[in-house]
Structure 1
Amino acid sequence: MDLRTIKTFQTIVKLGSFQRAADELQYGQSTITMHIQKLEMDLGVKLLERGKKLRLTEAGRLFHEKSDLLLKDYAFLSNTMNEFIKGETGVIRFGAMEPTASYRLPQILGPFLQQYPKVQISIQIGNTTVLSQMLADDEIDLAICTTPESGLSSTFEPLFIEKLGLLIPENHSLVGKEHIYLHDLQNETLLITTSVCPYRKKLESCLLEKGGSPYNGMEIGNMAALKYYVQANFGVAVVPLITVLPPPAGTVLKNIQDLDSGLVTGILRKQEGSLFSSAVEKLLDALKVGLLAV
């Protein structure tokens, strides 16, 4: 029993004639007859009684009802697979680090999902170390993050630089200083993220190289919360500019002259040659266009 013979049977029942079914399916009538004979042989039961008018046997009525559901399910499955091949459906698992996850992705994913409403997206938010490990463990398909420490099993495509600035309370002594350098942060209370955060690692490295140490640090686990602690006068913070434009009330945003341009951010994926679904490839294209416009 195969789908062709089932479809032939259903067409005969629908049109009420072997000849009409042959015309509809563009088969010779002998082929239609052979299909029904094969189907009845495979099932071991007679489905149609031929006379002046075709009549379904009791087995034929049961088979007609159940096989109609089968053909509908097959048509749905076939259509779903075609949509998957075209990238119009599927599940995409990807990771993103802050601030890209909150400040850039919604503007990119919104239009993408409007164009491909059947695509399901799962987003994991974490730092570069966590996302790199998730990629290695096949928990995500790709990640948007800073340059990883190791790239033996993955490739990294830089897309933009996340620029940084110094956020300070409006009554801070540095507000009136025209040019601020890293050494001006000596003995200041710096609001910093966790030790695995790329932004903290970069800042601490620059402070060591350019004379900004020693300093007092207050660790706050969430980057998005830093500006509120500055606003509450707990200290100063080096933050991605996108998170503080415009600066919150009661704060001032300043440039640090000798802090280089920022952190390189891009797309991390497995080594070239890894197979991606068409939906993932379409999302990659959308991400590149959206992030390169930064």
Structure 2
Amino acid sequence: MQLKSLEIFLKVLECGSFSHAAVQMHTVQSNITNHIKKLEDELNCELLSRQSPIRPTSAGQQLCHYAQQMIELHQQAKFHFSNQTLCHDIPLKIGSMETTAATRLPRLFKSVLLQLPELRLHLNTGTTRELIDRVYTGDLDCAFIASSQELPDFYNLHAWTEHLVLICPKEVTAFPDKKVLLNTPFLAIRQGCFYRKCIESFLQRYDLPPSQLTEMGNLDAILSCVHLGMGYAILPRSYIEKSSYKDELQFFDIDDQIGEINTYLIATKPQSWSGNLKHFIEQVTQVLELPKALEIA
């Protein structure tokens, strides 16, 4: 069913004749007749009562209702994409690591929504690997991920740099030596978490086996287990300082080569962006350019 056929159908009803509709649409009457016939063949019903003036049949009245809605939606879509306006009915699907969602995004989202109050956001958390895959497949519009460098084939906006720390029980008063590290398990999120890779790099730096890793379900579980003396962890300082466990844990800076990790906002290439995504990234870029805009309170 072509929109052109629906437009012709509505024009015939408006004019009350095929010939008048042809004049107003700057075409020949046979073209008008062919479009109406195609509609009737496709819907297997008679749409118009061929009298003077032409009137819709019962089926034609029903099609008139749908045709008006379809053409209106078509016009709205054209206006939206040509003007890159916000679409209030479709939420922007954003992905984030759990640490970023807890510490950085509340203030960022607040700043964005002050400028775009009608924008709807849906936040999904996951590991960096999961988030990259979901942006690639279109399941997410964009995502905040951890990486040591920009990702090829994606749009990359550097958001901030996280400083990782070694997290230990409160009674640990000095950076653990190799012997202590060898005999202490490390707690980490499942495969695909970039910070888990940082733990593996840290262990490799001390020639320690990656078999020391114990997988946990979430960050709160990790901090609770560290607090109880069940192992060590490596996570962003910004997350620990916002955690309820802050005063019950000891944490130490680690080598900058391992300990400084960039967070990027990634998306597909800009030519594929919706109006919602375009406005969101523009606002995020402006917020990130403000000094101290996203410092952790």
Range of TM-score over shorter length: 0.5 to 0.7
Q: Residue 144 of structure 2 contacts residue 263 of structure 2 at CA under 8 Å; is this kept in 1?
A: yes
Give the distance between the partners of 1:213 and 1:40, measured in 2 at CA.
79
- The separation in 2 between residues aligned to 1:59 and 1:254, in whole angstroms, is 77
Cα RMSD, aligned residues only: 4.4
Structure 1 segments unaligned to the other structure (5+ residues): 14-29, 49-56
Equivalent residue runs for 1:275-290 within 5 Å: 275-290=272-287
Shift of 1:266: 0.5
Separation in 2, partners of 1:47, 1:118:
50
CA distance in 2, matches of 1:196, 1:33: 62
State the distance in 1 between where 2:9 and 2:191 align: 66
Write out per-residue CA displacement over residues 71-105 of structure 1, whole angstroms, 9 at most, x where no aligned residue. 35422442344235423115644432231234333
1:201 offset after TM fit, Å?
1.7
Q: Decide which of 79, 83, 94 is 2:76's aligned counterpart.
A: 79
- Residues 164-175 of structure 1 aligned to structure 2 (within 5 Å): 164-170=164-170, 172-174=171-173
Contact persistence 1:134–1:140 (CA under 8 A): yes
Task: Name the CA distance, whole Å, in 1 between partners of 2:52 and 2:66.
Answer: 17
Matching of residue 3 in structure 1 with residue 7 in structure 2:
yes
Cα distance in 2 for partners of 1:94, 1:78 equals: 28
The answer to whether 1:45 aligns with 2:50 is yes
The residue that corresponds to 1:147 in the other structure is 147
**AA of the residue aligned to 2:103:** Y
Q: Distance in 2 between matches of 1:276 and 1:31?
A: 42
Q: 1:167, 1:251 within 8 Å by CA — same for their partners in 2?
A: no
- Please report the TM-score for the alignment, with normalisation by the length of structure 2: 0.64
- The AA in structure 1 aligned to 2:261 is L
Q: Name the SS of the counterpart of 2:159 in structure 1.
A: strand
For residue 284 of structure 2, give the secondary structure of its aligned residue in structure 1: helix
Matches within 5 A, 1:1-294: 3=7, 6=10, 43=48, 45-46=50-51, 48=53, 59=56, 67=64, 70-85=67-82, 86-89=84-87, 90=90, 92-109=92-109, 112=112, 115=116, 117=118, 123-147=123-147, 151-170=151-170, 172-174=171-173, 177=174, 180=175, 183=178, 186=181, 187-209=183-205, 211=206, 213=208, 217-249=213-245, 251-256=248-253, 258-260=255-257, 261-270=259-268, 272=269, 274-290=271-287, 293-294=293-294
Q: In structure 1, give the amino acid aligned to 2:172.
A: S
| Matched positions, count | 261
Aligned partner letter, 1:3: E
Give, in whole Å, the separation in 2 of the partners of 1:136 and 1:80: 24
Residues of 1 paired with 2:126 and 2:242: CA distance?
25
Question: Matches of 2:65 and 2:137 in 1, distance apart?
Answer: 43
Specify whether residues 9 and 219 from structure 1 end up closer, same or farther in structure 2 by C-alpha distance, changes over 3 A only.
closer
CA gap 1:137/1:4 in 2 versus in 1, 3 angstroms: closer
TM-score (ref. length: structure 1) = 0.65
Partner of 2:39: none
Are the counterparts in 2 of residues 191 and 218 from structure 1 also a CA contact under 8 Å?
yes
Question: Residue type matched to 2:283 in 1?
Answer: A
Change (3 A) 1:62 1:234: closer
Please tell me whether Structure 1 or Structure 2 has the larger radius of gyration of its CA atoms: 1
Contact 2:159 2:262 in 1 (8 A): yes
Deviation at 1:247, TM superposition (A): 4.6
Cα separation, partners in 2 of 1:61 and 1:130, compared to 1, 3 Å: closer
**139 and 72 in structure 1: CA distance in 2 versus 1, 3 angstrom threshold:** closer
Q: Which runs of 5+ in 2 are unaligned?
A: 37-47
Higher mean C-alpha deviation, range 122-131 or range 107-116 = 107-116
Cα distance in structure 1, aligned partners of 2:32 and 2:64: 14
Whole-Å separation in 2 of the counterparts to 1:108 and 1:47: 64
SS at 2:95 equivalent: strand
Identity of matched residues, % = 17
> 1:262: Cα distance to partner?
2.4
